[in-house]
Amino acid sequence: MEKIDQVTAAVLEKIDSQGFRQEGAYNLRYNGYSLCHGNTEHITIKRKEDKQGIDVYISGETKGEQVHIPVVVAVSGMTDEVYNDFYVEEGAQVTIIAGCGIHNSGCNDSRHDGIHTFHVGKNANVRYEEKHYGEGEGTGARILNPVTKIIMEENAVFTLDTAQIRGVDSTKRETEVTMGADAKLFVTERLLTHDKQSAVSNMDIYLNGTGSSAQIVSRSVARGESRQVFHPRAIGNALCHAHIQCDSIIMDEAKVCSIPEIDAQHVDAAIIHEAAIGRINNEQLIKLNTFGLSEEAAEAVIIENFLN
């Protein structure tokens, strides 16, 4: 068992909601290499031989197991690019908990690009959680550019839950999902930006199979002089159902651009989109003030509940 230092342990607490432990199926990537990993009877993790990253094989016998694959970058000036592939067999039920935390105490930019591809078999059910977080007293930027590709076979279910907690100076998220017949996709995206941070999220959902359905919910809070751009796109190529909802709270001098796009390529494609951007409700602030909360504390309560 590898010893984990205090900085790494503190970052892991932020990005792994279930609590990272060196047991079961896991892989901890630290400063560009695999620090430690473990397998189970039904889940096997292998390091790639041709490039940085891992292949995760999840058998159809997997029922209710978890896979923990956090990444910690604690070196200023590092650019870490990693390719992870997940092969989920027919009928498997699994939760994959990822996330990346950058601790930058220097003057150079630190960056992590995680390219994840999921091959989801028939009747499989996958929940994928990913949290991003940045910290450190250095002036160097903390940059995260995730790419997520999901290929879903017939009757597969995929739940994608992503969150950017705070401290990430720049992020560009690219998500692409291809759905087979009767496949079901649930996406929840939560984002907090502050100071002069920037965040872009592009999402393409291809509903190719008859009876496929997708629900995409994006919630964000922009503070300071931060900038946010959301562009979720649902393309209906068969009899399908999709709903896109983007809600944002804008504060201070921030800017938010929301571009939900729906594209029906089939007469039986039913797709809906909604988008709303606005300030914190003054009535909510006043009500919390009457309970003795300061304006700052009241704002924090409202933001936390909105994002959660």
- Residue-wise over 116-150: b if at least 16 C-beta within 10 A, else e? bbbbbbbbbbbbbbbbbbbbbebebbbbbbbebbb
pLDDT at residue 293, rounded to an integer: 79
Closest by alpha carbon to 114, among 75, 89, 138, 79?
Answer: 79
Question: What's the pTM?
Answer: 0.94
Q: Give the separation between CA 192 and CA 174, rounded to whole angstroms.
A: 17
Q: Tens digits of per-residue pLDDT, 16-52? A: 988 898 999 999 999 999 888 999 999 999 999 999 9
Closest by alpha carbon to 101, among 79, 127, 70, 60?
Answer: 70
Contact (Cβ atoms closer than 8 angstroms) between residue 85 and residue 50: no
Q: Tens digits of per-residue pLDDT, 79-106? A: 999 999 999 999 999 999 999 999 999 9
* φ/ψ (deg, to 5) at 295: -60, -40
Radius of gyration of the chain (CA): 20
Q: Give the separation between CA 55 and CA 196, rounded to whole angstroms.
A: 36
